[in-house]
Amino acid sequence: MTTADIKKNAEAKMAKSIEAFKGELQKIRTGRAHPGILDQVHVDYYGSMVPISQVANVSLLDARTISVQPWEKGMGAKVEKAIRESDLGLNPSSQGDLIRVPMPPLSEERRRDLVKVAKGTAEDAKVAVRNLRRDANEQAKKLLKDKLITEDDERRCLDDMQKLTDKTIVEIDKLLASKEAEILAV
């Protein structure tokens, strides 16, 4: 393994951390409707639990309403039940084949709570990135100890890891700031 391998590996893992953070942010709902909110809801489909998007068409009717249209007639009740029982606090209503999921407006207190949740998620993502930096630094120090790289190479690798970590944390902060603005917007 070389310092280039360490950097490439850490960069790929940090990118995955950012993607995971984006996924977590999507789960935090705002007052506006977004089809991605239902991505984590799973429905019983012939004995196996699958995401709603695999058994129904999920789209927006308007800014505050999600429509879910199951592909099979008998799935409507199961999909509606799965949405109702999810921890999203949504109350779907059936209209024939179509299930309407209105997004209730958020109170100011609930908005502040959601911002706290988003900040906690961001901190978890930052910790993951710092752990990746630590692991990469340990790998570089091991290469130096095994005399596979020079001290200059090790120092350069540590500096590059710090720059990569700083860049990734700035990106996490930007994502958090945009989510906060989205949550607090009326």
Tell if the pTM clears 0.75, that is, is over it: no
pLDDT in tens, 102-147: 887 777 887 888 888 889 899 999 999 999 999 999 999 999 999 9
Summarize the confidence of residues 48-54 as an average pLDDT: 89
Give the pLDDT confidence score for residue 24 in this predicted structure.
Answer: 85
Give the pLDDT confidence score for residue 139 in this predicted structure.
Answer: 93
92: left (phi over 0), alpha (psi -120 to 50) or beta: beta
User: Is a pLDDT exceeding 90 seen at residue 35?
Assistant: no
Coil/strand/helix, residue 151: helix
Terminal-to-terminal C-alpha distance of the chain: 52
Summarize the confidence of residues 59-64 as an average pLDDT: 85
Query: pLDDT-based confidence at 9, cuts 50/70/90?
Result: very high
E-strand ranges in 63-105 read 65-70, 93-95, 98-102
